[in-house]
Amino acid sequence: MPVDIPKDNWPGTVRTVTIGATAADGGTRTSTVTVGGEKNLPFLHFESKAPNRPVIAIEIKDHRPEDWSTLLLDAWGEAVNYPVQWAKAAEAAGADLIELSLSLNDLNGNPTSPEAAVKTVKDVLANTGLPLLVFGPGQAEADNNLLVAIAEATKGEKIVLGIAEDKNYRTIIATAMANGHLVNARSPMDVNLAKQLNILISDMGMPLDRVLMDPTTGALGYGIEYGFSAMERLRQAALQGDAMTQLPMLVTPGFEAWKTKEAKVNTGVPDGWGDWLERSINWETLTAMTLIEAGADIVVLRHAESVRRVKTAITDLMAAAYTLA
pLDDT digits (tens, 9 = 90+) for 152-197: 999 999 999 999 999 899 999 999 999 999 999 999 999 999 999 9
Q: How far apart are CA 216 and CA 199, in angstroms?
A: 18
Task: Quote the radius of gyration of the chain (alpha carbons, Å).
Answer: 19
Q: How far apart are CA 259 and CA 116, in angstroms?
A: 28
Instruction: Return the ∠ at Cα 268 (arms to 267 and 271), rounded to 5°.
Output: 90
Average pLDDT per block of 10 residues along the chain, 325 residues long: 85 98 96 97 91 97 95 97 98 98 96 97 98 96 96 97 93 97 96 97 97 95 93 97 98 96 90 94 97 98 98 92 51
Q: What is the pLDDT of residues 257-304, one digit of tens each?
A: 999 999 988 888 999 999 999 999 999 999 999 999 999 999 999 999
C-beta pairs of 271-274 under 8 Å, 24+ apart in sequence: none
Q: How far apart are CA 86 and CA 302, in angstroms?
A: 11
